Chains A and B, each alone.
Chain A
Amino acid sequence: EVHLVESGGALVQPGGSLRLSCAASGFTFSTHRMNWVRQAPGKGLEWVSYISSSGSTIYYADSVRGRFTISRDNAKNSLYLQVNSLRAEDTAVYYCARYVADSGDYSDFWGQGTLVTVSS
């Protein structure tokens, strides 16, 4: 059974940093692309970042480019999101999601999310 567990969310001051983690199990992590998607309180889903299976291809949403860094460690079955220069508008639940790219591109399994709150 596919299992994704996020961690690392916390209350942080504006300008601060965090490292979010996503532990994957139940599938061959090294052969799957992955995404981070966030959801601000009471708002819709917002895609944050994508990473290919090897880590060689990475994309970011315009709202986070230059501040957030996605990475992965296939030996540890783990996905990461380094979030820097945090702003109030980055407050959200951050989900990691397994990404499938066949005839379409979609996320077939999601973790339960980790909450990042940016406030002074």
Chain B
Amino acid sequence: GAVVSQHPSWVICKSGTSVKIECRSLDFQATTMFWYRQFPKQSLMLMATSNEGSKATYEQGVEKDKFLINHASLTLSTLTVTSAHPEDSSFYICSASPSASSYEQYFGPGTRLTVT
């Protein structure tokens, strides 16, 4: 149980285009989902926290107009990288939490984004 999927697993896009990454909780309802970014050989940096039906809370320094997060249902959150640039190339990982009392987050397998 507690499986989180991400789609796509990897994507290549051209500079200036937008790309959408999906994060799904497959066997539980996720009241909260988190989006992390990981640079090569570095740790995970939290980008934003999204709660179903409300606006995402972005970490300091994260451009909310560039990284659009939508948590439209209890099983799906999406991250859209708008007007992508090469510096947006990274590994994006989502996690999902079933509830405030769950004490755990379940991580997706990650999405490798390359912007050319």
The answer to whether A and B come from one shared complex is no
Q: Which chain A residues have a beta carbon within 8 Å of chain B's beta carbons?
A: none
Q: Which chain B residues have a beta carbon within 8 Å of chain A's beta carbons?
A: none
